[in-house]
Structure 1
């Protein structure tokens, strides 16, 4: 039984790594302004998750307290992607990848790289919020937009 589990576990690792590397590749192609908007939307998603009791900024504790959180968040991201809401999908994917890294050590280095890419947008977050407000009419709280998940951001 152990061999079967290891086979599927390695297969899952490879699938998650491929998804993360694809996401990371997209981030490297984005401008700092585009990254800043993603950070604003990811912060908005995070605030919604926190209001529902899912503290993604402490992913290791979250995975102990709510082991199904990553699965639920992944399902949300997939639904957003199916609906064609790429912005909400990308903002949610930031947290999906962060939670997956809390469970899978092999994902921690690329997730740290993801956060290094996201930090490029930190200096432009206020401007991005203003652009989003003017374009979409959505008000987003950004006071803690530069917060990093514990243990994952190098």
Structure 2
């Protein structure tokens, strides 16, 4: 049984690495304003999810406390996909990839790279907030957009 479980886990981590790398590649092809839009959406989603009691800013602690967070995030992503909301999907993917680090620490270097790419959007979040308001007539809550999840600072000191 140990061999089968080990094989399954290795396969799952390899798939997650590919998915994260594809997401990072997508972010790296965007300019700072586009990344700022994704970061504004992701930050708004984080703030809304945290209001419901979910914790997302410390994946190394929060995931082990509640591993079901991944299922919850996948459900949110599927709903956004069903409703054809690709920018909301991108925002939620930020949190899915971030939280996966709590279960598989070998994903941490890729998560740091993802946050390095998201950092390029930080100066553009306020502008993106205005764009989102123009599209939706709702102001997103981008409080804390300049914060990195614990353990995922792109260039730790």
TM value normalised by structure 2: 0.92
Query: Corresponding residue for 2:78?
Result: 78
Q: 1:97 Cα deviation (Å)?
A: 0.1
1:58 partnered with 2:58: yes
CA contact (8 A) 1:36 1:120 kept: yes
* Partners of 2:19 and 2:92 in 1: CA distance: 13
CA contact (8 A) 1:101 1:152 kept: no
Q: Runs in 1 of length 4+ with deviation above 4 angstroms?
A: none
* Partners of 1:12 and 1:153 in 2: CA distance: 25
* Partners of 2:133 and 2:96 in 1: CA distance: 26
Query: Corresponding residue for 1:130?
Result: 130
Deviation readout 1:104-127 (Å, 9 max, x if unpaired): 122111110000000001011111
TM value normalised by structure 1: 0.94
Aligned length: 154
Unpaired segments of 5 or more residues in structure 2? Answer: none
Task: Output the aligned Cα RMSD.
Answer: 1.2
1:37 partnered with 2:37: yes
Unpaired segments of 5 or more residues in structure 1? Answer: none
* Partners of 1:90 and 1:18 in 2: CA distance: 16
Deviation readout 1:26-49 (Å, 9 max, x if unpaired): 001111100001111001110111
Deviation readout 1:66-89 (Å, 9 max, x if unpaired): 121112212221332233211110
Q: 1:93 Cα deviation (Å)?
A: 0.2
CA contact (8 A) 2:47 2:143 kept: no
Query: Corresponding residue for 2:95?
Result: 95
1:136-147 alignment, distance < 5 Å: 136-147=136-147
